[in-house]
Amino acid sequence: MQQAVNLWPLMGILAIICGFLLRLNAVLVVIIAGIITGLAAHMPVGDILEKLGSGFLATRNLAFILLIPLATIGLLERHGLKEHAQSWIAKIKNATAGRLLIIYLLARELTAAMGLTSLGGHPQMVRPLLAPMAEGAVENRYGDLPQRVRYRLRAMAAATDNVGLFFGEDIFVAFGAILFMHNFLLESAGIQTEPLHIALYGVPTAICAFLIHAYRLHRLDKHMAELLGTVKRDALSHAGAEK
């Protein structure tokens, strides 16, 4: 006879969803959701407060770890990090947004495959360096850019970081997903595998992902040439007509 499962503790998840939809204070929402979950699970009030306290003590340094890099990046941006990145890339005449992002894609995949996943990322690499350098490379060829073009370059820079990280870390033998698959196959199906063999099966996928996204970046250069080259010619012809 199967034992009935108490689903009432899931009310805590509903409390979190409602709190975030109402844009309430995140810390207050999480605390209330924890209390609701504990009461629904028939936990004593003292045990609920003990769990909340131990969770707070375990993560009390998390905010400090997150805020220090963000503050450092913000300070660098205030002192002209983006402008320096754009001026540096403008000195390379053959640089294009596509070529720059292809090089970054390769570096991101290789470093992620070695477990160095924190070397890139949106806040510490894409926003302050990669996206401004891609914009600077295009500006160096075609002049001032429309806002929609800037947004597209930023989106492609972020996508490049995502692709490189996602498919690169699958090759790292100590990646959590690889260890999970190894344990799952061993415990559930009795299949003996080696984490290294699972990681090696991710290599063809990573190569295909690199080739496909590199082709997309190559097409991005062609699209920029067609779009902005036409705009630049129209602007020059209009200026000549006015003279």
Region 95-113 average pLDDT: 93
Split at pLDDT 50, 70, 90, the class of 3 is low
Does the pLDDT at position 66 exceed 80? Answer: no
The rounded distance, in Å, linking the Cα atoms of 179 and 168 is 16
pLDDT digits (tens, 9 = 90+) for 210-240: 999 999 999 999 998 888 876 555 554 545 5
Q: What is the pTM of this model?
A: 0.66
* Other Cβ atoms closer than 10 A to 203: 13
Q: Rounded distance, CA 33 to CA 184, Å?
A: 31
Of 96, 110, 98, give the one whose Cα is nearest residue 164: 110
Residue with tokens 């200026």: 239
Q: For the segment 123-168, what is each residue's pLDDT rounded down to a tens digit?
A: 888 988 899 899 988 988 888 888 999 999 999 999 999 999 999 9
Task: Name the residue among 119, 130, 139, 207 with its Cα closest to residue 170.
Answer: 207
The residue type of 190 is G
**pLDDT higher at 194 or 165:** 165
DSSP assignment string, 132-185:
HHHHHHHHHHH-S--HHHHHHHHHHHHHHHHHHHHHHHTT-TT-HHHHHHHHHH
